[in-house]
Amino acid sequence: MSSSSQKRYEEAIQQVDVIIANCIDMELHYQGLINKVHPSHRASACNLIHYITYRNHISTSLKRFLFGKGLSGLKNAEAHIMASLQLTRKRLHQLAHDEVPPPIETAVTFKKAEKIAKRNSRQLLGNKSKKRNVRIMVTQPSEAANNSHLAAQMMRSGMNTVRINCAHDTETEWLQMIRHVRAGMDTMQKHVKITMDLGGPKVRTGAIQHGPKVAHLRPERDDFGRVIDPGKAALIAEGQLFPDEDNIYIPIPSTALRNLLLGEDLSFQDTRGKKRLLRITEIEGKVIWVHGYESAYIQTGTEMTSSQSNQTFAVGEIPPLEQYLLLKKGDHLTLHKEQTPGEPAKYDRDGNLLQKAHISCTAAEVFEDVKAGERIIFDDGKIIGYIHENTGDELEIKITHAKDLGTKLKMDKGINFPVSRLHISGLTDKDKEDLKFVTKHADVINMSFVNTTADVEQLISELDLLGAKSHIGVVLKIETMTAVKNIVKLLLSAMQLEKVGVMIARGDLAIECGWQNVGLVQEELLKICRSAHIPTIWATQVMENLAKKGVPSRAEITDAVMAQKADCIMLNKGMYILEAIQLLDTILINTEKAHWDKKQFFKEMAY
């Protein structure tokens, strides 16, 4: 071996030795925090500190040197970092023909890391399926309170973990959902974990004055009054979720829906007493599409008669027309603290502005924290503006990004302040009240918008008061950049509990860190949690197009494959949720097989 090669090996060995020494020093520095974690997490807490130390000290040049020598550059070593560092040092000594120094005793070996991670996932998220390791978590829709079979159908399709969101419905509906889940467990002879989300201090738009409960079908006509595009609507079964906000949906009894025939007409009188017809043009699974060639107003209770199947039925509950503010680039919007219904902008006959559009904000605290000149983002980035003035009770906002023809801002849409230093965190009064129910009926609490260790300590204190600290699991939902920056301290604080997990909530997180950074942030969170052997949940818009519209996009299929890096994948609600669960189950099984056998799909490649 040349002297230059020998010298490079010696430098690499020295660098690895320095990293190992720093890991040991930092473990001693954090010993106070490590001693506070649950006994089952002590070794994992040490490994977490070791990994962060390694991450902060490893150089790119050392990684490249190790990779060039076939040592993989310590890639994917986060779950057993000290064992990997020592093995790397041993191999370097062997390649340099040096005497190998005695190993330092490590608490987390390669096998132990895998064993701890599997145990933690099982305790928090429940048993895995027979053919895959990654769990599937499914959000329960409101209809699950009235549909006694839905939970069992979800389990049969592949659901391992149930999610109920306390931001929606009431204790009455939650209890019914849980009863149906437990009945489904008995039916399926399968145990699933029940998780419940605390609403948390989410900042959203307030109410807008509701419109009438009516569906209006309007055909498009040419200059001669001839119909060039009929009014379109979809008939769905009563109790079904509306798949999207883009189409008109008319709920009817499920028995009537099943018996309707393609091509037949539905006759009725609209709200004005005018006789109207709708023609069935397409039957698409659970949805029947109809066309109308005259303007028609349909309300709850409207009686319809079919021309061929000879049945008469009443239209179910039609929700009120959802009002909105239409905002364009350059518009001004007032966001106010007072909880009065929002209104769109008002103009006189000449188009002069009489009153700016205005809407309330659900969190009064933000008015104390935000400043003029800071950005404000609505509805996951669909509308962006900046704060022109903060009067204390109102924010005057100028819109800088929206669609050319305007973007609709509706009630209960998220508001983000990506550069503002907000002091909103911890448990709300509603969260504390909901905890009394959750600790009695659920296995796991999902804590929303956790930002600091004080938030975690507050939750642990509340659990202690309720006598639930020893048996309930806690998932930290990482939704802000503050939480990302505090992730190590958040984990060490939460690891006082035996069952702990992290949900990577990519919706708000993407707005906070920027679209260009969300992939990197997500990857970093996965690695840090893996180093602490903490189970992770991959959430937000997974298979969303399939769940809501029945057809998956190519991008979301790829996302589902990549989601296998996590321990659990969360699906949200939708009309086609069973199909989404089934497809995700198949994707995960096939991908796990292919991970170990690259010839799973193509047995032989031509060459």
Residue 49 has a pLDDT of 97
Residue 210 has a pLDDT of 81
How many angstroms separate the Cα of 558 from the Cα of each of 270, 369, 521, 522, 527? 46, 39, 18, 16, 20
| Residue pointed to by tokens 């996009």 | 553
If you average pLDDT over residues 330-351, what whole number do you get? 93
Asked if residue 598 has pLDDT above 70, the reply is no
Asked if residue 600 has pLDDT above 60, the reply is no
Domains of the chain (ranges, CATH numbers): 3-108 (no CATH), 116-201+425-595 (3.20.20.60), 214-314 (2.40.33), 325-415 (2.40.33.10)
- The Cα 332–Cα 358 span in angstroms is 9
- The Cα 130–Cα 507 span in angstroms is 31
If you average pLDDT over residues 346-355, what whole number do you get? 90
Comparing 182 with 423, which gets the higher pLDDT?
A: 182
Count of alpha carbons within 13 angstroms of residue 131, beta-carbon side: 11
- The Cα 373–Cα 384 span in angstroms is 13
Q: What is the largest CA-CA distance in the chain?
A: 98
Percent residues over pLDDT 70 in the chain: 98
Percent residues over pLDDT 90 in the chain: 80
Residue 4 has a pLDDT of 83
Asked if residue 419 has pLDDT above 60, the reply is yes
pTM of the model: 0.84
Asked if residue 604 has pLDDT above 70, the reply is no
- Position 444, amino acid: V
Q: What is the pLDDT of residues 181-201, one digit of tens each?
A: 999 999 999 999 999 999 988
If you average pLDDT over residues 165-177, what whole number do you get? 94
**What DSSP string runs through 365-397?**
GGGGT--TT-EEEEGGGTEEEEEEEE-SSEEEE
Banded pLDDT at 601 (limits 50, 70, 90): low
The helix/strand/coil state of 214 is strand
Closest CA to 54 of 39, 69, 30, 75: 75
Asked if residue 537 has pLDDT above 70, the reply is yes
Residue 257 is encoded by which pair of tokens?
Answer: 């829906």
If you average pLDDT over residues 68-76, what whole number do you get? 83
Q: What is the pLDDT of residues 274-313, one digit of tens each?
A: 999 999 999 988 899 999 999 999 999 999 999 998 899 9
Whether 461 contacts 432, CB under 8 Å: no
Window from 6-20, 69-83, 167-181, 592-606 with minimum mean pLDDT? 592-606
Window from 111-120, 133-142, 207-216, 538-547 with minimum mean pLDDT? 207-216
Comparing 246 with 65, which gets the higher pLDDT?
A: 65
Average pLDDT of every residue of the chain: 93
Q: What is the pLDDT of residues 231-265, one digit of tens each?
A: 999 999 998 878 777 789 999 999 999 999 999 99
The helix/strand/coil state of 5 is helix
Which residues, other chains included, contact 157 with Cβ-Cβ below 8 Å and sequence gap of 6+? Answer: 578, 581, 582, 585
Residue 42, beta-bridge partner list = none
Residue 423 has a pLDDT of 84
Banded pLDDT at 38 (limits 50, 70, 90): very high
If you average pLDDT over residues 358-365, what whole number do you get? 94
